[in-house]
Amino acid sequence: MSDITQRFSTGAPQNLEERFASRAAHMKPSEIRSLFAVASRPEIVSLAGGMPNLSALPMGMMADVVDNLIRNNGQEALQYGNGQGHPKLREQICEVMALEGIRANPDDVLVTTGSQQALDLISRIFLDPQDVVLVEAPSYVGALGTFHQYEASVVHVETDEDGLVPTALAEAIKTVRATGRKIKFLYTIPNYQNPSGVLLPASRRTEILSICREAGIFVVEDNPYGLLGFDKPSPNAMRAEDSENVIYLGSFSKTIAPGLRVGWALVPPSLKEKLVIASESSILCPSNFTQLTISSYLANQPWRDQIASFCELYKERRDVMLESLDEYFPATAKWTKPGGGFYVWVTLPPEIDTTALMPKAIVAKVAYVPGTAFYADGFGSWSLRLSYCYPTPERIREGVKALGGVIKQEMANRKGFELKG
């Protein structure tokens, strides 16, 4: 044993696990991860991912935007920027939010590296281990993962075809508080929810806001899909009705392009300082280059028309998916009928395990996300999420047909077992 080893042996960690923080125990690969690796093969029709379809984005125009940006304002675009986000873009973000009834001050906007970073920062300022976050049942897998890393407890609240059920929310608050645990916020996606595709009607928004305000629980309103309503505009954002108790998350990932990684949080003034400090600690500042690309695009291009083109494209795909489900899925299956966004949520008979079914689906050249991914508690085993955003209509029809076949076969096999048993 060397002198050095002798010197330091006291208190030295014995193995790698001892060297990690306790929260690192929650950093384990999800089932989604290995699944996406397989689903990205070109021969598979992926109804799994949530990638926006950029075929409607005019690339020549985007190229002009970035070329001009560098030539005319390169010194600023390529330099460090403001930790809270570029002031010009924060003003434009307020104009975008005005489309959903929000009146906001640019000074209350924090620009983030996609709205995932906003979720992370909100978790960081609010969540101690064992704190409770209320979420819809089911809810966005990426949010659940972040809450989990902050060692919070996720409690799902019942939903129906109109989204979160207010009486169930009130009940959940009482039940959790009876156990002495702290509820830090409700996380909700009111428009074309991920994964369910459902829309929360205006009357429920008011009711939920009132419940949360009175209970002293912040509402985190995550709204990436609000401008992607196909048939009619979405109701006003919840933030439009309550500027003091709602933390609003927006994103350009679905209305412009996700590769720029520009999202934002609009927050009550009392939270802003801590969120900016947390963000600076996390990334120093968001990219001036991607922020000014968005800013220039918003200032110089017909972005509302562009969103309308995206809606056309997604509406066609939604229609094909719903028609195909009618045609190819068993009569005992049920699914949501989204008025916008990217997703359809399918509920099968409870004896079908959608995680166990995945390998068979892959063999049939189709992929989806099993329902359990969207629950923190193991529920959802007979549900699945289908996304229609990315594939062509032909591929969507092909994928739904293949998956319908796999499900029908599985049901027939189960029936066979039951008869034999």
Contact 152, 182 (CB under 8 A): no
| C-alpha distance from residue 73 to each of 63, 66, 107, 287, 307 (Å) | 15, 10, 23, 14, 26
Distance CA 225, CA 342 (A): 8
Contact 407, 415 (CB under 8 A): no
CA proximity to 248, closest of 260, 256, 236: 236
Which segment (157-165, 287-295, 363-371, 379-387) binds a second copy by CB under 8 A? 287-295
Distance CA 151, CA 289 (A): 34
- String of contacts with a second copy for each residue 122-141, x by CB under 8 A: --xxxxx--x----------
Please tell me whether residue 106 binds a second copy under the rule CB under 8 A. Answer: no
CA 301 to chain CA mean position, Å: 27
With CB under 8 A as the contact rule, the residue among 42, 59, 419, 420 that binds a second copy is 59
Q: Which of residues 246-275 bind a second copy (CB under 8 A)?
A: 253, 257-261, 270, 273-274
Which segment (98-106, 112-120, 221-229, 308-316) binds a second copy by CB under 8 A? 112-120
The letter for the amino acid at 175 is T
Dmax of the chain from CA atoms? Answer: 76
- CA dihedral (311, 191, 261, 308) in degrees, to 10, reads 20
Nearer to a second copy, 162 or 171 (CB): 171
Nearer to a second copy, 280 or 327 (CB): 280
Which segment (155-163, 173-181, 335-343, 408-416) binds a second copy by CB under 8 A? 173-181
Nearer to a second copy, 281 or 409 (CB): 281
What is the closest distance, in whole angstroms, from the C-beta atom of residue 314 to a second copy in the complex? 16
Q: Which of residues 198-237 bind a second copy (CB under 8 A)?
A: 210-211, 214-216, 218
Nearer to a second copy, 93 or 278 (CB): 278
Please tell me whether residue 60 binds a second copy under the rule CB under 8 A. Answer: yes
Nearer to a second copy, 79 or 203 (CB): 79
Q: Which of residues 292-321 bind a second copy (CB under 8 A)?
A: 293
Q: Which of residues 12-41 bind a second copy (CB under 8 A)?
A: 12-13, 16, 19-24, 27-29
Q: Which of residues 67-86 bind a second copy (CB under 8 A)?
A: 67-68, 70-71, 74-81
- Residue 180 has φ and ψ, to the nearest 5°, of 85, 5
With CB under 8 A as the contact rule, the residue among 193, 223, 290, 295 that binds a second copy is 290
* CA quadruple 73, 78, 83, 89: dihedral sign: positive
What is the closest distance, in whole angstroms, from the C-beta atom of residue 346 to a second copy in the complex? 23
Q: Which of residues 392-421 bind a second copy (CB under 8 A)?
A: none
Contact 314, 389 (CB under 8 A): yes
For the purposes of burial, counting CB atoms within 10 Å of the CB of 12, is it exposed (0-12), middle (13-18) or buried (19 or more)? exposed
With CB under 8 A as the contact rule, the residue among 87, 101, 106, 145 that binds a second copy is 145
* Residue 345 CB partners (closer than 8 Å, separation 6+): 138, 195, 196, 197, 198, 335, 336, 371, 383, 384, 385, 386
Preceding peptide of 190 cis, ω within 30°: no
- String of contacts with a second copy for each residue 179-198, x by CB under 8 A: -x-xxx--------------
Which segment (278-286, 298-306, 328-336, 380-388) binds a second copy by CB under 8 A? 278-286
